[in-house]
Amino acid sequence: MEDQDIYDEINVTPMLDLSYVLLIIFIIMTTATVQGITVNLPKASAAPSLAEPKTKAVTITADGTIYLDTYPVSLQELESLLTQYKAVDPNLPVVVKADATIQYQQVVDVLDLMGKLEISQLGLVTKKLVK
């Protein structure tokens, strides 16, 4: 008759385990949503900073026009301007973007100029091939 004893107590251990798990989840979720303290940041001037090197972009269009950033230049003007920029920042980063239909010699001329000016941080921009 011992197997049929009536239980007059509730076992609270599983309920406490559940409450502890819910408490831990609540703590994790509330700390994950905290983004930080909101502050009013100071504003810098619009002038380029000497601390941030500005990357120069050399673009060669399909008709052979050479642009430095957005300004059309000749190869001699490009050399002069890049020499000035390199005097300010010896580690001047430059990217070259060329149209796929231009003559290869024009790209080689620009790359030779970069080598002549000893610009070591040089990038060639390409389009990602989507398969």
Q: Which of 130, 56, 54, 127 is nearest to 96 (CA)?
A: 56
Q: Is residue 43 in some structural domain?
A: no
Q: What is the pLDDT of residues 8-56, one digit of tens each?
A: 777 888 889 999 999 998 888 777 665 555 555 566 666 555 545 588 8
Q: Name the pTM for this structure.
A: 0.55
Residue 97 belongs to a domain: yes
Helix (H, G, I), strand (E, B) or coil at 108: helix
Q: Total structural domains in the chain?
A: 1
Domain that includes residue 90, residue range: 56-124
Predicted local confidence at residue 117, as pLDDT: 86
Of 108, 57, 61, residue with least CA distance to 78: 57
* Residue 119 CB neighbours (<10 A): 19
CB 99 within 8 A of CB 61: yes
DSSP string, 7-68: P-S---HHHHHHHHHHHHHHHHHHHHS------------SSPPSSSPPPEEEEE-TT--EEE
Domain with 116 in it: what CATH number? Answer: 3.30.420.270
Q: What is the pLDDT of residues 53-112, one digit of tens each?
A: 588 888 888 888 888 888 888 889 988 998 988 888 888 888 888 887 888 888 888 889
Comparing 5 with 56, which gets the higher pLDDT?
56
Residue 77 domain flag: yes
Tell me what pLDDT residue 46 has: 63
Burial of residue 103 (CB within 10 Å: 0-12, 13-18, 19+) is exposed
Is 72 within a domain?
yes
7: pLDDT strictly greater than 80? no
